[in-house]
Amino acid sequence: MTFHLRKTLGVCLAAVILTASSASPLFAQEADEPAFLTNRINALVLIVVFCAAVLYFTYEARKGKRLFLRKIAGLDAVEEAVGRATEMGRPVLYIPGILDLDEMDTIAGVSILGRVTKIIAEYETPLIVPARYPTVLAACQEICEQSYVEAGKPDGFNKDSVRYLAGEQFAFTAAVNGIMMRERPATNIFLGGFFAESLLLAETGNAAGSIQIAGTSQPEQLPFFIAACDYTLMGEELYAASAYLSHEPLMTGGLKGQDLLKVAFIAVIVIGVVLSLLDHWDVIDFFDIYSAWFQEA
Amino acid sequence: MRRTAPVITAFVTGVVVTISFFFNEQTTFIGQIQSGILIWVTIIFGMSLALGMVSITRVNFNKVKRRQEGWPYSLLVIISVFVMAIPSALPVSWSPLFGRNEGSIYYWLWTRISEPMMATMFAMLAFYIASAAYRAFRARSTESTLLLLTAVVVMLSRIPMGEWFLRLFHPSLPDWINIYIMNGFNLSVQRGIIIGAALGAASMSLRIILGIERTYMGKG
Amino acid sequence: MTVWERIAAMDRRWIYLMCGIAVLVPFIIPVSLPVYTTPEVQQLYDAVNSLPDSSIVMLTYDYYPSTVAETEPMSRAALHHLFSKNCKVVTLSNIPLGGPTIAERVTRELAAEYGKVYGVDYVNLGYKANYVAVMKGLGTAISGIFPTDNTGTPLTQLPLMQSVRNYEDIAFIFVVADNATADYWVSIVNAQYGVPMCCGATAVMAPKLYAFVGSGQLQGLLGGMKGAAEYEQLLGRKDRAVRGMDAQSLIHLLIIVLVAIGNLGYFMGRRAKRGERA
C-alpha cells in the first residue's frame, strides 16, 4: 500500500467537513442536545494545522527535497553497541518498555526494535526481548521474524528469544534483572514507556557492565536513565527514532511537520507572556480572551 | 492483504475516533463510537492473556525438559503461574479456596507473597538511587556541577532537617528553592518535554493512521 | 590504586549497607522535626476545605501495594479531611493488583472511625480494566462502567449512588496515584469534563505534576511522603507520613554526604594522578 497524498488529503478534508457538519441529522439521536462540541474547536483547528504541516512536509520529502535531521547520539551508537556484543559473543537485550501496545511509547519502542533487529540479524548476535504484555509479545515476535527475513537470515530467528515474563511491573523487573545477571548481555536497549523500574533495570545493567541505551517520553524517569545509562533519548526523540534510523523521506516529513508546530507553540507562548505582562501593567486587557481560547470550556 | 488489512484498520479507526472526539458522547451515535472501540480494546487485551500463558509455559517448559542451567527456577515459574491462575479462575461456589476473595488460595498468595515482594522491589530503589547518585553526581563539568548542586539543595529542601538547615542561611531559602527551582526551572523544563513528547506522539499517530509508519507490524 | 581512587570507586554494597542503617536508625531513635508547609500542599488543603459540607467527592486509589509507604498516608489524610467535613466519598481504583483491596481496607477503617455508613456516606466502586475507557465512560454514566460496587451490590441498591449519575454530580476529585493515570485524570477528566481535582503522587512523579498545578488544572499537589506529612500536619493529625520523615531525612543526608565523599575522592584522585605525571 503506497502513500497517495491527494487521496489522503481528500480523506482528511472529508473528515474535517464531516466533523464540522454539526447539524447533520445523521449523527444526532436527540435533537434538543447539541451534537457538536463547540468547546473543542480549538483542538480541531490544531489537528487540521498539524495534519496540514505533516502532509506538506511529507509531500516535499516525496518530491525529493532533502530534510535536515540533527544527530541523535544514542541512535548512532546502536550499531556500535551491537558490534560490541558480537565481539564479546554476548546477547543484546532489548526492552520495548513496560506499557501495552495501545500506548504510543510502546509502538515507538517496537518500531525501533525492527530496525535494531535487522542489524542484530546481520551481525548474527543473540537477541533477548522480554515482554510484559502478551500483545507486545506477539508484535515483537512478528517484527523480529520479519527483520531476520529482510536481513536474509530467516533461519537465524529463535522464537524463544522474544519471551513473555510477567504481567506485574516488579515481577517483570525482577525477571529482567535475573536475565541481566545470568546471561550478561553486552548491550541493553531500553526504548519505550518506563516507570519506577527504570533505575532498577539501568542500575543492574550498569553493575553487569553492559553498554546501555535508553529512551522514554516519561520525564520523571529521564534523570534515572541519564544517571545510569551511556546514552539517553529524551521525550520526542523516542518517537523520532524510527524515522531517524530509516532515513526514509516519507518518515522524516512527519518530523518536520512536528517541528513547525513546535515553532508555532513557542510563538503562542511568547505572545501569551507578552500579553500577560501588558495585562499585568494595565496596558491592554486582551490576555484573558487569548488564554481562554486555549482552554476547553 | 496480510499487510494492507491492518493499515486500513488503523486508518479507519484512527479517523473515526478522532472525529468522534468532537461529538457529544451522550446524544450522538458517532460520539459513542470511541467508547465502543475502547471496550473492544479491553476485550482484545483480556483474550491476549492466553498468548502470554502459552509463551511463558513454552519457554520455561523447554528449559526444564532440556535441563538447562537454572531449570529448577523455570519449574518454579510454571508451578507459580498455574497455582495462582487456576484456583482464582474457578467459581467460589465450588469451594471458598477458589476465586479471589478473602480466604482463597489466590488471596493468601497475593497478600503473603506478591505484595511483600512488590514492596521489597520498590524499596530497593532507595539503595539504587544512592549508588547511582554516588556515581553520577561528580563535578566533571559546569553542567554536572549545576546538576549536583541542584540535586543537593532540592534534597535538603524536601526534608525537615534540611529545611531547618537552609533557614539558618535565610528564613525564605526553602521557599525560594520551591519558587525558582521546582516551580521555575523544573516546571518549564517539564512542560517543554511534555509538549515535545505530545507532539512526537501525535506525529507518530498520524504516520500510523496514514500508513506511513508500518514498522510496528514488522514491515521495515 | 590510591586511597582516593578507591573511595571514588567504592563498592556499591557498602552504599547499600549504609542505606539500610540510615533507614533503620530513625525507627529506633525518632527525632520528629517540624515539617514546613509548601504552597502546593496549602493550596490542596484550602481547595478541599472550601468544599461545601456534604459535597460528593471521588477519591481514587490508583496505586500498587509497592508504594503504600508514600501513597496510603495521603489516602488516609484525605479521608480524615473529607469525612470530618461530612463529604460523601465515592472511591475507585484503576489498578488491578491491590488497588481495590487497599481501597476497601483503608476506606472501611476510616469510615468506622467517623461512624459513616456504607452506601449512604461512601461507596467503593472497585476496579474496571482500561482506565481510559473508565475515565471517559464515567463522564456518560457511572452505572454504565460500574453496574455494581466492589462487592457485587447493584448501584441501584445504594442510596448515595441514586444522586450520582456522572461527573456532573461530582464536586471534586482527589486523585492518589503512583503511575501515569494521574496524567490521564488531568488530560481526560479535568480538561474534557472540567471536574476540579487535586493529586497526591509519589515523589518521583511530583516534578512532572507541578506543570499541572501551574496551569491550574490541579488545585494542589502532595509530592511523596513529604507532601503527605505536610497534609497530616495541616489536619493536625501526625500519622504515618510524619513518622516516616525521619528515615527520609537521614537517607537524604546520607546521599548528600556520599556525593560529597565521591567528589572528594574524584578530585583528590585526579590531583594525585597529575602529581604522578609531573
Give the DSSP letter string of chain A.
----HHHHHHHHHHHHHHHH-TT-TTTBS-TTS-SB-GGGHHHHHHHHHHHHHHHHHHHHHHTT--------HHHHHHHHHHHHHHHHT--EEEE--SS-TTSHHHHHHHHHHHHHHHHHHHHT--EEEEESSHHHHHHHHHHHHHHHHHTT-GGG--GGGEEE--SSHHHHHHHHHHHHHHH--SEEEEES---THHHHHHHHHHHTT-EEEEEES-GGGHHHHHHH-SEEEETTHHHHHHHHHH--HHHHHHHHHHHHHHHHHHHHHHHHHHHHHHHHTTS---HHHHHHHTS--
**Residue A168 to residue C208, Cβ atoms within 8 A:** no
Determine the Cα–Cα distance for residues C58 and C171; give it in Å rounded to an integer. Answer: 8
Looking at residue A29, its pLDDT comes to 44
Looking at residue A220, its pLDDT comes to 85
**To the nearest whole angstrom, how far is the Cα of C1 from the nearest Cα of chain A?**
20
Looking at residue B63, its pLDDT comes to 87
The residue among A172, A168, A170 whose CA lies nearest residue A95 is: A172
Distances (CA, A) of C136 to B24, B66, C266: 12, 49, 53
Q: Among all residues of chain C, which has the CA nearest to that of B129? A: C255
Cβ-based contacts of B122 with chain A (< 8 Å): 170, 196
Q: What is the mean pLDDT of residues A92-110?
A: 92
Q: Which three cell numbers stand for residue C50?
A: 472550601
Residue A247 phi, psi (nearest 5): 60, 20
- Helices A169-183 and A197-207: crossing angle in degrees, nearest 10, is 10
**Does B211 score more than 60 pLDDT?**
yes
**One-letter amino acid for residue C86 of the chain:** N
3-state secondary structure A78-123: HHHHHHHHHHHCCCEEEECCCCCCCCHHHHHHHHHHHHHHHHHHHH
Cβ-based contacts of A30 with chain C (< 8 Å): none
| Range from A42-51, A151-160, B38-47, B197-206 carrying the lowest mean pLDDT | B38-47
pLDDT-based confidence at residue A17 (cuts at 50, 70, 90): very low
Model confidence, pTM: 0.82
The residue among C33, C48, C30, C144 whose CA lies nearest residue C87 is: C48
Determine the Cα–Cα distance for residues B69 and A156; give it in Å rounded to an integer. Answer: 22
- Picking from B25, B155, B194, the nearest residue to C252 by CB comes out as B155
**To the nearest whole angstrom, how far is the Cα of B66 from the nearest Cα of chain C?**
34
Q: What is the mean pLDDT of residues B153-169?
A: 88
Looking at residue A2, its pLDDT comes to 44
Check CB contact of B144 with chain A, cutoff 8 Å: no
Q: Which three cell numbers stand for residue C85?
A: 467535613
Interface test with A, best of B69, B203, B209, B214 (most A CBs within 10 A): B203
Helices marked H in B104-186: 105-109, 115-136, 142-157, 160-169, 173-176
Check CB contact of C134 with chain A, cutoff 8 Å: no
pLDDT digits (tens, 9 = 90+) for C75-108: 999 999 999 999 999 999 998 878 888 999 999 9
- Picking from B8, B22, B213, the nearest residue to A37 by CB comes out as B22
Contact B215, A250 (CB under 8 A): no
pLDDT-based confidence at residue A21 (cuts at 50, 70, 90): very low
Q: Which three cell numbers stand for residue A121?
A: 540479524
Looking at residue A3, its pLDDT comes to 47
**Residue A200 to residue B114, Cβ atoms within 8 A:** no
pLDDT-based confidence at residue B173 (cuts at 50, 70, 90): very high
Check CB contact of C18 with chain B, cutoff 8 Å: yes
pLDDT along chain C (278 residues), means of 10: 79 91 88 85 96 95 91 96 96 88 92 95 91 88 91 92 93 94 93 93 91 92 94 91 89 92 86 72
**Residue C262 to residue B137, Cβ atoms within 8 A:** yes
pLDDT-based confidence at residue A6 (cuts at 50, 70, 90): low
Q: Which three cell numbers stand for residue C143?
A: 452505572
Looking at residue A23, its pLDDT comes to 39
The residue among C213, C180, A228 whose CA lies nearest residue B186 is: C213
Looking at residue B92, its pLDDT comes to 85
**Residue C208 to residue A207, Cβ atoms within 8 A:** no
**Does A19 score more than 50 pLDDT?**
no
Looking at residue A27, its pLDDT comes to 44
The residue among A45, A17, A86, A75 whose CA lies nearest residue A243 is: A75
pLDDT-based confidence at residue B5 (cuts at 50, 70, 90): confident
**Residue A220 to residue C180, Cβ atoms within 8 A:** no
Pairing of strands C221-223, C197-201: parallel
**One-letter amino acid for residue A266 of the chain:** I
Cβ-based contacts of A297 with chain C (< 8 Å): 194
CB atoms under 10 Å from CB of B36, counted, come to 13
**Residue B183 to residue C210, Cβ atoms within 8 A:** yes
**Residue C211 to residue B118, Cβ atoms within 8 A:** no
In chain A, % of residues over pLDDT 90: 41
**Residue B213 to residue A251, Cβ atoms within 8 A:** yes
pLDDT digits (tens, 9 = 90+) for C213-230: 988 999 999 999 999 999
Determine the Cα–Cα distance for residues B3 and B10; give it in Å rounded to an integer. Answer: 11
Interface test with C, best of A220, A226, A234, A276 (most C CBs within 10 A): A220
Q: Which three cell numbers stand for residue C71?
A: 501513597
- Helices B187-209 and B4-20: crossing angle in degrees, nearest 10, is 130
Q: Which three cell numbers stand for residue A281?
A: 501593567
**Residue B152 to residue C259, Cβ atoms within 8 A:** yes
Check CB contact of C207 with chain A, cutoff 8 Å: yes
Secondary structure element (H or E) that encloses residue C204, with its range: none
Check CB contact of C192 with chain A, cutoff 8 Å: yes
- Picking from C192, C204, C208, the nearest residue to A296 by CB comes out as C192
- Picking from B137, B139, B178, the nearest residue to C39 by CB comes out as B178
**To the nearest whole angstrom, how far is the Cα of B159 from the nearest Cα of chain A?**
20
pLDDT digits (tens, 9 = 90+) for B51-65: 888 888 888 898 899
All partners of chain C with 3 or more CB pairs under 8 angstroms:
A, B
**Does A18 score more than 50 pLDDT?**
no
The residue among B76, A37, A155 whose CA lies nearest residue C191 is: A37
Chains A, B: CB contacts within 8 A come to 238
